[in-house]
Amino acid sequence: MPKNKTVWYCKSCGAESLKWMGMCPVCGEWNTMVEAPIPAKGGRRDFRGEVPGGGMSPCLLSEVDVTGEQRFSLNSPELDRLLGGGIVKGSITLLGGEPGIGKSTLALQIPLYCHGLKALFVSGEESVSQVKLRAGRLGGDGNSCYIYSETLVENILSQASRLEPDLLIVDSIQTVYSDNVESSPGTVGQVRECAAKFLRYAKENGVPVLLIGHITKDGSIAGPKVLEHIVDVVLQFEGDDSGAYRILRGIKNRFGATSEIAVYEMTSGGLKEVANPSDLLIPMHEEALSGIAVSAMLDGTRPLLIETQALVGSAAYGTPQRSATGFDVRRMNMLLAVLEKRAGFRLGTKDVFLNMAGGLRVNDPACDLAVISAVLSSNFDLPVSSHTCFCGEVGLSGEIRPVSQTERMIAEASKIGFDRIFISGFTSLPEQFSHKGIEVVKISDVPQLCRALFK
């Protein structure tokens, strides 16, 4: 019996090789080559021929008609804003996240609460009765939502062509397989082939497709990296699945801005939108406590106010510990070195723990000023006023550098009810900008910050 021919794929970039290699010659990643059977001729032809638009003839760009409605709302303000104003017809969206974080719940809520939307929900992980029980807990109207439990992609596309839905939802892409590929579901070849078939269906019929995908232990979408290149939009859930709040972040969006976030609260009735996340991330205590400072930052295009918590204590075991939750520990070590070198604070023999409240992962340099203020507050055991917030980047020479769109952070802090905000002394605010109701304090370096806070 002849042996089936196989090929090696790179999980990181999707490159092919006839033999195993420790390092991928294309992307340079180590130990990412996996073996999969060579797809049949039909599968190979389908994947290579995934041209958006199918068999259309070439036409001039000036003759393309885009006057028709290209987007439609999902009756979810947060999700519509995250997608750039609604979902685009003929687009393909990938929704990723850890198990149990709410991917299937959010996907099922879309057709239940979007009245008049004819949707086909394909479940490869649950039976029709299980989906019905979930829909009963979520509420909403299921008169226009079709449920189909199937894992063969050819059958799914056949039913989709017959029903002609306005939205196709597949839960999940790792459970779907094609007869053209001789491998088990979830392998590199199957994911590539099935994603290419869904892409072709979306582009040729103008039907948006929502794919649900699992993530690996390192937090990336399971399957080949080429899956993220095929789709138009990549949305990923963040946060602890055991907590009440979920953060949906836009990683890739061909039709809108990236790095946008939407905050949801997991309840017994499903995921509820949080219109003002700053109310969840600012202090929830009445008395002033040391080691706490509020940072005004920008996540995507949305201004947020988040509580920064620091704890500084003597090293109990000789070697000081450095730990950060929701913040880059390397950047925290840099800020501690700036405090010691430029301001004279001896923190080399002390433990420093940093936490961003609400489970949010922060990468905006505008949080530097709040981190330093929280560390100094905990070190001196002197509280910072709960009506004060901070917005500024700290440089290696101890200077406070301005950040972009500072006026938006000032307006957000004033709206929430803060009385004072510290910003960089080098920030130039627009002349027409009015910051009545909040005191704007400009500081130039870290020593000046210490004098202004603990005078």
378: enclosing H helix or E strand: helix 368-380
In this prediction the pTM is 0.75
**355, pLDDT greater than 90:** yes
Q: Which structure tokens are listed for 8? A: 């090696």
Q: What is the pLDDT of residues 101-149, one digit of tens each?
A: 889 999 999 999 998 899 999 999 899 999 999 999 998 888 899 999 9
Decide which of 149 and 45 is more confident.
149
Whether 407 has a binding-site annotation, put simply, is no
Give the position of tokens 């109207």.
141
> Looking at residue 192, what is its pLDDT?
84
Q: Residue 46 pLDDT more than 50? A: no
On whether 103 is known to bind a ligand per the annotation, the reply is: yes
Instruction: With beta carbons less than 8 A apart as the criterion, state whether 334 and 222 touch.
Output: no
The answer to whether 101 is annotated as binding is yes
What's the CA gap between 173 and 127, in Å, rounded? 16
Query: pLDDT at position 44, please?
Result: 44
Find out whether 100 is annotated in a ligand binding site: yes
More confident: 109 or 17: 109
pLDDT, tens digit, for every residue of 299-311? 777 788 999 999 9
Q: Does 104 show up as a binding residue in the annotation? A: yes
pLDDT band at 421 (very low <50, low <70, confident <90, very high): very high
Q: Is the pLDDT of residue 396 over 80?
A: yes
Question: Is the predicted pLDDT of residue 429 greater than 90, yes or no?
Answer: no
Determine how many CB atoms are found less than 10 A away from the CB of residue 257.
12
Tens digit of pLDDT for each residue in 54-96?
566 788 988 877 665 588 899 988 899 889 889 999 999 999 8
181-190, 234-243, 263-272: range with lowest mean pLDDT:
234-243
What lies within 8 Å, CB to CB, of 348 at 6+ separation is: 320, 340
CA separation for the pair 74, 67 (Å, rounded): 21
On the question of pLDDT at 357 being above 90, the answer is no
How far is 222 from 220, CA to CA, in rounded Å? 6
Chain Cα centroid distance, residue 288: 33
Q: CA-CA-CA-CA torsion for 341, 342, 348, 349, nearest 10 degrees?
A: 130
Question: Does the annotation flag 431 for ligand binding?
Answer: no
* Cβ 74 vs Cβ 212: under 8 Å: no
Task: Check whether 102 is labelled as a binding-site residue.
Answer: yes
Task: Find, among 27, 116, 436, the residue nearest to 17 by Cα.
Answer: 27
pLDDT at residue 212 is higher than 90: yes
Whether pLDDT at 3 is above 60: no
Average pLDDT, the chain: 85
Task: Specify the pLDDT at position 49.
Answer: 41
**Residues 6 or more apart in contact with residue 92 via CB below 8 angstroms:** 195, 198, 199, 202, 208, 209, 210, 211, 230, 231, 232, 233
